[in-house]
Chain A
Amino acid sequence: MTLISRISLHRKLILTISLICAFFWSVFSVSWDKDLFNSNGANTTFLILGSLFKPNLSPEILILGVKATFITLMYASAGMLIAIVIAVIFGTLGSGVLFGNSVFGNAIATISRSFLGFIRAIHELVWAFLFVSSIGLSPYAAVFALGIPYGGILGRILADILADAPKNSILALRTSGASRLQTLFYGYLPMVSANIISYTMYRFECALRSSAIMSFIGIAGIGYQIQLSLSDLKFDEVWTFIFFLVAMAVLLDFWSIKLRESMNIPKHERKKMNWVQISQVLAVFLALTTWIYIISLDDASFFGIFTENNLLFAKKFFSSMFGIGVENPAFLDIEQWKNAISLTIETIIMGVLAIGFTAVASLLTVLLASKNVATGQLTMGNSLLTKPFFYLIRGFYIFTRSVPELVWAMLIVFIIKPGIIPGAIALALHNIGILGKLWAEVIDEMDTRPIRNLQLNGANYVQMLFYGVIPSVFPQFLSFLFYRAEVIIRTTIVVGLAGAGGLGQEFKMSMSFFDYTNVTLLLICYIVIVFVTDFLSGLSRKIVKENSAIAEP
């Protein structure tokens, strides 16, 4: 063993230990001693879960659901189109493939990447609040609020993929006299398009959920219906609408899988009516209907945003955010800072708790959710129970991840007392579905031979998990966990809006009381924790990668 590998092993150990410590710290910072549940929480739980099995399927509700789903889909696609435009422009600039390795090129790349980093740090719902206050409640406020952070996320991925693309064929193009722009279109893009498209499809599924929670600023759609039914405590309707969300996610997932399958087949071997063609038609169709729909909405004139009056209000809003003409702005007030910092700590605890819950719950279920186990390939054993468990847990994953964190939070505050615990549980519920799926896919693709060896030598489930599966999938598991951690921290503010405490709740209060300088202060704290998390996560992923690279023969 070389010195380097010793150090990196060491580092990995430190990383793992600090992760576990962070989780325990968060668990102990929350007061669990007082009874956690609302008085009568058991009954409410029963009521909510009971209506899960008898959703309201009356024709009016179903028709309402279809209409609302359509609206949600329209906003999601409109937002995605804007996101794609942002991603293509800034992602390409940020990748550095257009201007090469000059000082100018590097500067452009750095600026573009920081810009993308900033716009994706702020959650879409926070963007939405800011837009509504500055440009008014127009459908465009929701579309831009969706498009901007999604543009940031897609843009970063595009930049990363372009920068990491193999350089051989590009070099070949360059030497035969192609310009940099030409290498982009004929070299880079064809190489990375499959990757990009499959990631975009996944983001589209997320955009649907984001579009649903735009109800919080008053945009119609499935989230709006859920909110209305929730405030009347009609849980049977709530579940019906949630099933619409689930159905949308399943359909999109199906589309994405089919498209990927079809793209993996060489062109000349594809059937006449293949999914690549179908997808092209669908995409164009969606893009057209979306914009026709948004524009046909009442008052949704795009240039209406830029009227003199509107600019005046936007200016007013932003200057009050910066405390111009405000006596004693919050961000210059020690007391307010103390308050904001204690809320920030609360928010971090909520985030870490959520990450811990997610990791534990996914770890407990992931083996049963992997295809390898279900088919008996991994364990050789073909128990009668594995198949049903596989479908049950995969179904559970799809279900929990189809419901936005905000909606989970709104439901859970009926059961658990308002505070950071319901927030953490809401975040965890949504993320178990995502992390569980990602992890299960890692196991699906792992080398099964060592495990079968263990099995043949008489190892039981726990032994196989700890000596077989975990060591070989651990780096990738951690890497996905860090990636989700970034998302979870970014979303803590959103569950706070539903009464789960932390920065989010205070943000909503300050918006309601028109205390815009406090909004600024809270946003500063929020952006700092998002950036710090991104930084730590990036660092940790590097450590994990280093180690796994060494582990490979």
Chain B
Amino acid sequence: MKKFNLVFLALLSIILVVSGCSTKEEAKPKKEDKKVVVSDKPFKIGAIPDQSMADITRSMDDVAKYLSEETGLKVEFVPSVDYAALVTSFQRGETQLAWFGGLTGVQARNLVPEAEAIAQRPRDAEFKSVFITSVNSGINKLEDLKGNSFTFGSESSTSGHLMPRYFITEAGIDPLKDFDGKPNFSGSHDTTYKLVEAGTFKAGALNIAVWEKAIAEKKVDTNKVKVFYTTPDYYDYNWTINNVDEVYGEGTKEKITKALLNMDSDQKAILDLFATDKFVETKNENYTAIEEVAKSLNIIK
């Protein structure tokens, strides 16, 4: 038995020693790095996990590579499993550039006042959500949703939750009371159409771009699932940049903005993954309407 105590004590000391030593070793060179070459610090970009992780990683790794070549910064993509986690990491300055949805962008810019929405796809100025249901469900308009089961995307999603919820409420349906059971939160747009196609939920709402891409790539069977309502336009996705000039040098924000806006047919592979042919300028004020909606639904206080 005595031996066991010895082992435990030994373990304890090992933990302490090991963690103590190595962190010291690591901490030192990092500090020096910061002082000597400022822009050697990796420039981290992120994206809300609104689609299948494989797709996002593919497109964002390409964006990181492209931005590295254009700006000379060491750009890295850091995947994120959760919408809110990306906003938090943006707030903490751990993410310098992020592909946000309308709502997450507003949340992030509220937390970091210096942050700025710099670019979007042309379609993001007139974005829509689609409401889908199985072909023979008998649901033909928003009012018909009463008494049926329903799934949103992520709770932080603009096109998968915020705007659909807004239009459902406008149609006189209380999402908490009028569905069959509570509404589900699938987590991502891809999951939403898969769940409706599988018949798990009678209806769901998702991002129109993901829906059109799924049809084009034949990922969804339109003999089984149909769109029964398309929302009016609203502003959605955008590239939002953190307060980067301080750390990465004056003009970094401009360089990044220019690189994003300059993407053209030479970067077709990347743009295809974003389902667009270019990025255009945008500004924070474009998202005031989204903020108002979020406030009216008590999602932003």
Contacts and interface: CB of A to CB of B under 8 A. Distances in A.
Contacts of B187: 231
A501 B199 contact: no
Interface size class of A (residues with CB under 8 A): 35 or more
Contact of A38 (B1, B107, B149, B183): B149
A34 interface: yes
Interface string B193-222: 011001111100000000000000000000
Given A301-B27, A513-B300, A514-B111, A193 B1 contact: yes
Interface stretch (B7-15, B226-234, B257-265): B7-15
A314 B163 CA distance: 32
A44 B181 contact: no
Max chain A C-beta neighbours (<10 A), residue from B7, B52, B80: B7
Given A193-B4, A231-B188, A284 B14 contact: yes
A514 B107 contact: yes
A417 interface: yes
A257 interface: no
A137 B85 contact: yes
Contacts of A136: 88-89, 92, 94
A84 B10 CA distance: 13
A151 interface: no
Given A224-B81, A417-B180, A418-B181, A287 B200 contact: no
A252 to B, nearest CB: 18
Nearest to B297: A513
A508 interface: yes
Contacts of B185: 499
A344 to B, nearest CB: 17
A136 to B, nearest CB: 5
A39 B300 contact: no
Contacts of B93: 309
Contacts, number: 160
Nearest to A36: B181
A511 interface: yes
A104 interface: no
A224 B81 CA distance: 9
A70 interface: no
Contacts of B82: 216-218, 512
Contacts of B201: 38-39
Interface stretch (B16-24, B66-74, B122-130): B16-24
B2 interface: yes
A518 B90 CA distance: 22
A157 B265 CA distance: 65
Given A295-B18, A499-B184, 19 more contacts: A38-B200, A39-B149, A40-B198, A43-B199, A189-B5, A216-B82, A224-B81, A231-B188, A232-B194, A276-B4, A284-B11, A287-B11, A291-B14, A291-B15, A303-B24, A310-B92, A327-B301, A417-B149, A513-B300
Pick the 5 closest A-B CB pairs, nearest first. A40-B199, A417-B181, A302-B23, A190-B1, A512-B84
Interface of A: 34, 38-41, 43-44, 47, 81, 84-85, 88, 132-133, 136-137, 185, 189-190, 193-194, 197, 215-218, 224, 227-228, 231-233, 276, 280, 283-284, 287-288, 291-292, 295, 301-304, 309-310, 313, 327, 413-414, 417-419, 499, 501, 508-509, 511-515
